[in-house]
Amino acid sequence: MAVVKVDKLARSVAEGPSLMTGSNPTKDWMDVPVVFKPGNYAYTTKPEKLEYLDSQQGVSFPNARVWNPEDEDWKLPENWKEIIINGLADRLDKFRSLKIFMDCCVRCGACADKCHFFLGTGDPKNMPVLRAELLRSVYRQEFTLAGKLLGKMAGGREMTTAVIKEWFMYAYQCTECRRCSVFCPYGIDTAEITMMLRELLHSVGCGINWAMEPVANSNRTGNHMGLTPQAFKGNVDFLCEDIENLTGIHIEPSFNRKGAEILFITPSADVFAEPGLFTCMGYLLLFEAIGLDYTWSTYASEGGNFGLFTSNQMMKKLNAKMYAEAKRLGVKWILGGECGHMWRVVHQYMDTMNGPADFLEVPKSPITGTVFDNAASTKMVHISEFTADLIKQGKIKFDKSRNSHVKATWHDSCNTARAMGLLEEPRYILDHVVDNWVEMPENTIREKTFCCGSGTALNTDEIMELRMRAGLPRANAVRYVADKHAVNMLACVCAIDRATLTTLMNYWNPDVQVCGLSELVGNALIIDGEKRAENLDEGLRTMVF
Amino acid sequence: MQLIEALKKKRKEILSTWVDRTLDSYTSSGFFKRSTDRFANPVGANIREGLSKLYDLLLGKADQKEMMEPLDKVLRIRAVQEFTPAQAVAPILELKWVVKQVFSADKELRPLLTELDSFDCDVDRAALAAFDIYTVCREQLYKNRVSELKSGRYILTDSGCASTLNRQGQESIPKLQ
């Protein structure tokens, strides 16, 4: 198949360099080497993290070492090329989707201008088609007859250290948000190509610490933060004290309680970092209001699964822990909090990795009797599905005026929107808990939502500039509704969003705050026996001394 | 013809060249120039809007305060892209060159080339203000980094939690071969 458009897509149409700066390269994309400099790459994995992970069963993270992307020599293992080519061969054999994605792209360019990294940088290698081409060119060279015979003429190229460096640069300038896939006529999941690139890079010891340290922590203590069971419980108890001060409601949640009906799992950031804390207070209030028989787990104390951003074996292992804990505690089903990628793993991979979870029951709300058939196989229900059902069945009451400080807009988090189709439930909840909320422009919401720009373990501070430019398309749409409708709150259902959109708004729209949906639910929820403090001008995030 | 009148008459041509040259500073600029959807193409649309408004304000001899908003629209974007400070601010100064190019190509306007001193000064002032904005944006980036550290999100890495103890003696963990 002839390579028709990639060169054209990638070449600047500029007629001459800027007079003032001389910028504006016009070379062919394959001839433009990547340049690593502070701010455009995330720090590499600490050797001790990798050595620890490599010592664990079921996963492989070899070639731990100290290395710096800015150095010429990356200290790759001697047989690095063999490792990469064999690794690619293995994956082509194992994953039929990868083989199809390598072959079926016709370079139509439909995805080219849909990636937030491309839109924020103007770098052609951030066009999904070209990012995939970074791998596809090696595939052609090594695994297709045309490539073997004709090399570059057939769109192939030699696997060199320059290619490895290019992979490292662009596999970590993709948040696997899958917006491009929505527009691909062939449904190529470019996120899975990024996943393969990252796996291959890990095989030669090239990864980023912000992904691997949370993975190591999660593997060891059950959550990204590395919180011990005592610390995890302590944080939740602390939130309960805050709730009592604010609302007069006394809550005593249970932990690791065998025989509870439901296991509740949420990202650990919800029990630890602002503004997730307020979302967590929302969960606690809701469960108290309806008298839910549930337990927290200090072992499955993390909904997030950075394994998704790392390797399929790691993803499988971290996902399995949630189900192992559900089995150990003997619960009937799992209720999941406001996480993004946890839901992609559960909806798209869990069933074939660790499922079906036959030892659990098809989730049935103990309050309304609603059976969640959509979760019949995974046995895991999203908090928004659960809450929307409670509202629909009239089991909870709200006082919207308690959210009168909020003029909200809704950010569809990539994974819940595109990977599980959670589009209507959050909107239904918003309708019931706030007086005022508005939609962002049509091509920036629902399936076409723009990523926060910092997903897939890119939410680290050393690449702040990269995150801000990648988040521009999202922030730009928020600015529109902030200017037009005086929106002051960006609501979402993802822990990474809550953290990273806060930072993104600080840069682009400082008057807009970020919250989880359950925070707004908790603010407005009317509970028997409550004694809300007066002047809760900011709901659950009001500081009370 | 009076200078301001000429600048108004040639507005479309000058702006078109100016915006195109600014967007040419991106490696693959075709889409940025082509798409007029401000949500699908935030870089192209914001830069076009910002420079257009700035041009009109320059012609209207507007107060520098008024120029901050359109300048912010352009510089807030360029401050987080892979430009040096000079490259980020350069497009503002390039307006002078664009105006001279357009006037030079028109016999009727050529005499006005000698009258551009005052306009050039206004552009320079806008460029200096742009540099102020650039600096504010960069400072905001560093504030963002600090506030993430303060908020505790950094504990995802480098944490001093109890499990840190597990790191001790890690050398003795046998490797799987």
Q: What is the DSSP string of A369-397?
A: --B-GGGTTT-EEEHHHHHHHHHHTT--E
Chain A contacts of B32, Cβ < 8 Å? 122
Residue A151 makes CB contacts below 8 A (sequence gap 6+) with: A141, A157, A158
> Would you call B43 and A119 a contact, using CB atoms and an 8 Å cutoff?
yes
Q: How many CA atoms lie within 13 A of A43 on its CB side?
A: 15
A225 pLDDT tier (thresholds 50, 70, 90) = confident
- Token representation of residue A486: 């005086």
In this complex, the residue of B28, B93, B175 whose CB is nearest that of residue A20 is B93
Range of the domain at B48: 3-154
pLDDT at residue A490 greater than cutoff 60: yes
Closest of A508, A416, A409, A400 to residue A455, by C-alpha = A416
* ipTM score assigned to the predicted complex: 0.91
| pLDDT tens, position by position, A69-80 | 999 999 999 999
A375 has pLDDT over 80: yes
* pLDDT score for A23: 47
Q: Does A20 touch chain B (CB under 8 A)?
A: yes
Q: What is the pLDDT of residue A477?
A: 98
Cα angle, residue A503 at apex, residues B161 and A312 outer, rounded to 5°: 60
Among A264-273, A324-333, A426-435, the range scoring the smallest mean pLDDT is A264-273
Contact (CB<8Å) B35/A113: yes
Average pLDDT of A406-429? 97
* Chain B (2-61) residues lying within 8 Å, Cβ to Cβ, of chain A: 21, 23-33, 35, 37-43, 46
Q: Confidence band (pLDDT; 50, 70, 90) for A274?
A: confident
Cα–Cα distances in angstroms (integers) from residue A142 to residues A145, A149, A294, B131, in the given order: 8, 10, 53, 49
Q: What is the mean pLDDT of residues B108-126?
A: 95
CB B80 within 8 A of CB A468: yes
pLDDT at A329 over 60: yes
pLDDT of residue A415 exceeding 50, the answer is yes
Q: What is the mean pLDDT of residues A404-419?
A: 97
pLDDT attached to residue A31: 80
Q: What percent of chain A has pLDDT over 90?
A: 88
The CATH number of residue B75's host domain is 1.10.490
Residue ranges of domains in chain A:
27-207, 214-541
- The whole-angstrom separation of Cα A436 and Cα A378 is 35
Give the residue among A239, A232, A289, A296 at the shortest CA–CA distance from A264.
A296
At A59, give phi and psi (nearest 5°).
-130, 160
Residues 143-162 of B with CB under 8 A from A: 143-145, 147-149, 151-159, 161-162
Nearest to A267 by CA among A237, A315, A238, A300: A300
Assess whether pLDDT exceeds 50 at residue B131: yes
pLDDT confidence tier of residue A12, bands split at 50, 70 and 90 = very low
Q: In DSSP terms, which residues pair with A334 in a beta bridge?
A: A263, A380
Mean model confidence pLDDT for chain B:
87
Query: Can you give the pLDDT at residue A236?
Result: 95
DSSP 8-state class, residue A348:
I
Average pLDDT over residues A290-310: 96
B165 Cβ contact list (under 8 Å, min separation 6): none
Mutate to test the interface with A, among B18, B78, B153, B177 (most CBs of A within 10 A): B153
Residues 6 or more apart from B158 whose CB is under 8 A from it?
Answer: A213
Q: What is the DSSP string of A425-489?
A: HHHHHHHHH-S-EEPPPGGGSGGGPPP-S-TTT---GGGHHHHHHHTHHHHHHHHHHHHHH---E
DSSP codes joined into one string, A524-539 = HEE-TT--PPTT-TTG
Average pLDDT, chain A: 93
User: Which tens digits make up the pLDDT trace of A335-346?
Assistant: 999 999 999 999
B32 CA: distance to closest CA in chain A (Å): 8
Q: Mean pLDDT over residues A257-273, rounded? A: 94
- With bands split at pLDDT 50, 70 and 90, how would you rate the model's confidence at A516? very high
Q: Residues 178 to 237 of A: which have CB under 8 A from any B CB?
A: 209-210, 213-214, 217, 220-221, 224-228, 230-231
> Considering its fold, how many domains does chain B have in total?
1
**Which pLDDT belongs to residue A47?**
96
Q: What is the pLDDT of residue B155?
A: 52
Give dist(CA B33, CA B46) in Å, integer.
11
What pLDDT score does A545 carry?
54
Tell me what pLDDT residue B153 has: 54
Q: H helices within A23-104, ranges in order? A: 47-54, 80-94, 96-104
> Does the pLDDT at position A310 exceed 90?
yes
pLDDT of residue A4 exceeding 90? no
Q: In what order do the strands lie in the sheet with A437-438?
A: A437-438, A408-410, A489-492, A513-516
In a domain, B175, yes or no: no
Is residue A514 within a helix (H) or strand (E), and if so which, with residue range? strand A513-516
User: Residue A32 — very low, low, confident or very high, per pLDDT cuts 50/70/90?
Assistant: confident
Given a cut of 90, whether residue A295 has pLDDT beyond it is yes
Query: Is B64 a member of any domain?
Result: yes
pTM, entire model = 0.92
Query: Measured between alpha carbons, how far is residue B172 from residues A46, A48, A315, A533, B160 in Å?
Result: 17, 11, 26, 55, 21
Q: Return the residue in A458, A467, A503 with the most chain B beta carbons within 10 A, the one to mutate for interface testing.
A: A503
Q: What pLDDT sits at residue A436?
A: 87
Q: How far is A229 from chain B (nearest CA, A)?
A: 10
pLDDT score of B80: 96
Q: Considering chain A, what percentage of its residues have pLDDT values greater than 70?
A: 95
Q: Is residue B96 part of a domain?
A: yes
Transcribe B36-76 into DSSP letters: --TTT-HHHHHHHHHHHHHHHHHHTT--HHHHHHHHHHHHH
Place of tokens 């065998």: A258
Q: What is the pLDDT of residue B1?
A: 59
Nearest to A464 by CA among B84, B138, B132, B135: B138
Say whether pLDDT at B160 is over 50.
Answer: no
Residues ≥6 apart with Cβ < 8 Å to A476: A508, B38, B39, B42, B46
Nearest to B90 by CA among B55, B126, B48: B126
* Spatial separation of the C-alpha atoms in residues A198 and A207, rounded to whole Å: 7
- What pLDDT score was predicted for residue A544? 64
Q: What is the mean pLDDT of residues B137-163?
A: 71
Nearest-5° Cα angle at A480, A475 to A483: 115
- Structure letter (DSSP) for residue A293: -
First CA to last CA distance, chain A:
69
In the prediction, which pLDDT does B152 show?
Answer: 62
Which has the higher per-residue pLDDT, A533 or B85?
A: B85
**B37 in any annotated domain:** yes
Q: What is the mean pLDDT of residues B93-116?
A: 95
Distance CA A316, CA B140 (A): 39
Average pLDDT over residues A434-438: 95
Would the pLDDT of A454 be above 50? yes
Residue B168 lies in a domain: no
Tens digit of each residue's pLDDT (9 = 90 or more) over B15-69: 999 999 999 999 888 899 999 999 999 999 999 999 999 999 999 999 999 999 9
- Rounded to 5 degrees, what are φ and ψ at A264? -105, 125
